[in-house]
Homo-oligomer: A and B are copies of this chain.
Amino acid sequence: MSAEGFFRSRWVERPREAEERTGGELTSGFRAAGVHCGLKDGGGTDLGLLVCDAPEVASALLLTRNAAAAAPVRVCRDDCDAARIRAAVVNSGNANAATGEAGYRDALAMRDAAAAAVGAEPPAVAVAETGVIGVPLDTGSVRRGIDEAAAALASDGGADFSESIRTTDRWPKRCLVRAGGVTLSAQAKGGGMIRPGFATMLCFIQTDAVCEDAAGVLGTVAAGSFERITVDGQMSTNDMVLLQATGESGRALPEGLLDAVALQLALEVVADGEGATRVGRAAVEGAADAEEAERVARAIANSPLVKTALYGRDPNWGRIAQAAGMALAGEELPELGPAEIDAGELGGEKREAELAVRLDRGDGAAHVFFSDLGHEYVRINAEYTT
């Protein structure tokens, strides 16, 4: 976290009277730990455990929709009570993806070991994994790590937990914020290069707010944050977002708090995308409807021509017109030109650059955040060989 504090993006509205804490403190009622169990070479922490000790906990879980979803995602989908998640166990050395039935059994065993270690029912424990794919999970190391992490659980373990879920993220992504009488803490990891090559997003959010419809709240918040970002247009096999709320503060979430935290974390993930140097915001208005606006914004955000223009500081509105026209193939946009496209900030030195397209088809509007495409993306993804 920089000297600017956590809410440092121009696109995030700082919650009113928000007070930030650094250090490893978690929301009251939660404990966490991060240890090295041996899945990562070089001794980095690679196993994290997060537990809620409050009498009641409401939760919600978002999982990747990738059809080749990793084993832990399928365990969460099949075998967890998403509304009553008390604990989560994560490893950042092995994604346990494309590992078939054996991988599923290993993810289940990892989850069950964590449940036993923290004294929770297995369906109340979520499991997440990220790292190398197609390689069997070393469940012996994982079990030892779980026992070690369970013994190390602490109310200020947020920093260790945050470290333990990182792969090649260049900086940690976490916060603790107080506002309106509630506390919210969160830890995320983003699209760093993961051998042999997925960009997986994991995010854990804890609060003492009362959250009666956790799934609805998380769905709405994610739609404006985690589902509005792209690094390389690729959907991971392992993405997961977990929200846990104890209700112990007796207060509802202040308006905008969770949205701001989720959006800042999502923007950190983009800013720390593989090889990224700049973040763009593609905003489209005047589309026939919101769905069409999002389709156009995504086409712009995922265009390698626009992404290289962002990297190269080239205010190239022509590439934006081309991408918009591709998204609306078969329609007619003959007048789309520099008067309808603001591309100036693609040039210049702003690290967060806006571009805007005004169509004349209706009232639909949408935006998507995206990273640039530069040499470092190619180096990371091409020069590394499995």
Please list 20 pairs of residues, one from A and one from B, whose beta carbons are closer than 8 Å in the complex, sorted by A's number: A66-B326, A66-B329, A67-B327, A67-B328, A68-B336, A69-B334, A97-B318, A98-B337, A133-B321, A134-B338, A196-B316, A196-B319, A234-B326, A304-B304, A308-B382, A309-B381, A312-B385, A318-B386, A374-B378, A374-B382
Q: A68-B334, A98-B337 are in contact. Are A318 and B381 (CB under 8 A)?
A: no
**Contact status A318-B134, CB under 8 Å:** yes
Q: Which residues of A contact B (CB under 8 A)?
A: 65-69, 74, 97-100, 104, 133-134, 196-198, 232-237, 302-305, 308-309, 311-319, 321-338, 347, 373-375, 377-379, 381-386
**Contact status A325-B382, CB under 8 Å:** no
**Contact status B386-A65, CB under 8 Å:** no
A-side interface mostly: loop
**Contact status B314-A382, CB under 8 Å:** yes
> Chain B's nearest CB lies how many Å from the CB of A335?
6
**Contact status A382-B312, CB under 8 Å:** yes
Docked pose: A305 CA to B334 CA in angstroms: 34
Docked pose: A337 CA to B381 CA in angstroms: 20
**Contact status A329-B65, CB under 8 Å:** yes
Given B100, B196, B316, B324, which contacts A67 in the complex, CB threshold below 8 Å? B324
Besides the contacts A232-B303, A308-B377, what 17 more A-B pairs have beta carbons closer than 8 Å?
A67-B336, A68-B324, A69-B334, A100-B337, A134-B317, A134-B337, A197-B316, A198-B322, A233-B302, A235-B325, A304-B381, A308-B378, A308-B382, A312-B381, A314-B386, A347-B385, A378-B378
Docked pose: A197 CA to B305 CA in angstroms: 7
Q: A67-B331, A335-B100 are in contact. Are A237 and B322 (CB under 8 A)?
A: yes
Docked pose: A197 CA to B314 CA in angstroms: 11
**Contact status B332-A67, CB under 8 Å:** yes
Given B65, B68, B99, which contacts A322 in the complex, CB threshold below 8 Å? B68
Which chain B residues border A337 with CB–CB below 8 Å? 98-100, 134
Q: A134-B338, A232-B304, A309-B197 are in contact. Are A329 and B99 (CB under 8 A)?
A: no
**Contact status B234-A385, CB under 8 Å:** no
Docked pose: A284 CA to B353 CA in angstroms: 39
Residue of B nearest to A317 (CB): B134
**Contact status B384-A373, CB under 8 Å:** no
Given B74, B234, B335, which contacts A334 in the complex, CB threshold below 8 Å? B74
Docked pose: A329 CA to B63 CA in angstroms: 11
Docked pose: A135 CA to B327 CA in angstroms: 23
Which chain B residues border A323 with CB–CB below 8 Å? 234
Docked pose: A317 CA to B196 CA in angstroms: 9
> Chain B's nearest CB lies how many Å from the CB of A364?
15
Which chain B residues border A198 with CB–CB below 8 Å? 305, 318-319, 322
Which chain B residues border A66 with CB–CB below 8 Å? 322, 325-326, 329
Docked pose: A379 CA to B378 CA in angstroms: 11
Which chain B residues border A324 with CB–CB below 8 Å? 67-68
Which chain B residues border A335 with CB–CB below 8 Å? 100
**Contact status A318-B98, CB under 8 Å:** yes
Docked pose: A67 CA to B377 CA in angstroms: 30
Give the top 8 A-B pairs by smallest Cβ distance, nearest first: A68-B325, A312-B382, A308-B381, A67-B328, A66-B325, A235-B326, A67-B333, A308-B382
